[in-house]
């Protein structure tokens, strides 16, 4: 399970680092596959885990990357790349990842952490997602960051509690599926209306 956590963390770093939106699609799909594997391996296989794992694969490994890929295909090449990551983002990323060790040190005595290494990868992935949402400028990069943070949260739940209750897991998947669909639809309409995919240009509403 720790290996899956490490791979997910590396994919989160890949998402942060990559400027090409097509790579983002593959990184997100990879995270979706890893999460479904994690669902199937973290608990004894039952009908419920099979359903949750399949739902994860469909929503996070298929639906969300698929929607992004579909919308990217319709856009000219200039809109399929993000701006370079600002230098400060690299420094902040290193700092927040290092800060996770301190969090583990603080929470250690409470006994709440079941898998310390997995907890590290999960919290580090969430932090990387937060850095990405602030540093990245492409509309779809922001959507990818949101999905990456949510993926990190699922791993965090595994590292702390083994798994979330099925009801919540399925609720989260439905919620994320709807949110991603709406945001892809919005990206398309913003691109149509403003001929941009840069969030910096969304500055009309101020004050």
Partner 1 sequence: MSSSWALGGPAVPLVVAAVLRRHSTQRWYAVIAIWTSLVWLAVGGLTWHPLIQGRTWAILLDVTNLVAATSAWDSVGWLREHPRMAPHRYYGWWSLFWAALLGIALAHNLALAWLAVEFSTLTSGALIIEVGDRHALEAAWKYILIASVGLIVGLIGLVFLYASLQYQTLGWATLNYQNLHGQFPHVAPIIRTLATVFIVAGFGTKAGLVPFHTWLPDAHSEAPSPVSGMLSGVLLGLSLFTVVRFVEAVPTARGVFLSGPHLLTIFGTLSVVIGALALLVQRDIKRLFAYSSIEQVGIMAVAAGLGTKAALSLALLQFVLHAVIKSSVFYGAGHLSVMYQTQRLKKITGLLARHPAGAVWWAVGILALAGLPPLGLAYSEWLIFRQLWQHHAYLVIGLVAASLTLTFAALTYHLMRNLWRDMDALAPAAAASEVL
> Shortest gap between Cβ of 194 and partner 1 (angstroms)?
6
Within 8 A by CB and 6+ apart from 196, the residues are 190
Q: Binding-site residue total for partner 1 (CB under 8 A)?
A: 43
SS3 (DSSP) at 59: helix
Q: Are 61 and 34 in contact (CB under 8 A)?
A: no
Is residue 49 within 8 A of residue 40, CB to CB? The reply is yes
Closer CB to partner 1, residue 85 or residue 146?
Answer: 146
Nearer to partner 1, 54 or 170 (CB): 170
- Cβ of residue 97: shortest distance to partner 1, in angstroms? 17
CA angle 188, 192, 196 (to 5 degrees): 85
| Closer of 6 and 172 to partner 1 (Cβ) | 172
140 binds partner 1 (CB under 8 A): no
- For helices 166-194 and 139-161, what crossing angle results, to 10°? 170
Question: Which residues does 104 contact at the CB level (< 8 Å), separation at least 6?
Answer: 113, 116, 119, 120
Q: Which string of x and - marks every residue 77-116 that binds partner 1 (by CB under 8 A)?
A: -----------------------------xx-xxxx-x--
Structure tokens at 26: 């593959």
Contacting positions for partner 1 (CB under 8 A):
106-107, 109-112, 114, 126, 130, 133, 139, 142, 146, 149-150, 153, 156-157, 160-162, 164-165, 167-168, 171-172, 175, 178-179, 182-183, 185-186, 189-190, 193-194, 199, 202, 204-205, 207
């Amino acid at each position: 399970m720790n290996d899956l956590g490490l791979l997910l963390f590396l994919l989160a770093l890949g998402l942060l680092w990559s400027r090409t939106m097509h790579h983002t699609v593959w990184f997100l799909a990879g995270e979706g596959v890893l999460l479904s594997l994690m669902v199937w391996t973290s608990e004894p296989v039952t009908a419920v885990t099979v359903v949750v794992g399949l739902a994860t694969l469909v929503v996070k490994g298929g639906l969300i990357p698929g929607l992004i890929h579909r919308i990217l295909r319709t856009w000219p090449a200039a809109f399929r790349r993000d701006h370079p990551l600002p230098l400060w983002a690299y420094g902040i990323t290193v700092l927040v990842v290092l800060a996770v060790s301190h969090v583990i040190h603080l929470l250690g005595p409470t006994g709440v952490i079941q898998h310390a290494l997995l907890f590290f990868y999960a919290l580090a992935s969430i932090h990387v997602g937060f850095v990405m949402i602030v540093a990245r400028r492409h509309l779809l990069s922001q959507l990818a960051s949101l999905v990456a943070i949510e993926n990190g949260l699922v791993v965090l739940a595994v590292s702390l509690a083994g798994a979330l209750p099925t009801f919540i897991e399925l609720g989260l998947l439905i919620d994320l599926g709807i949110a991603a669909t709406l945001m892809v639809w919005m990206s398309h309409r913003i691109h149509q209306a403003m001929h941009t995919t840069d969030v910096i240009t969304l500055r009309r509403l101020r004050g």
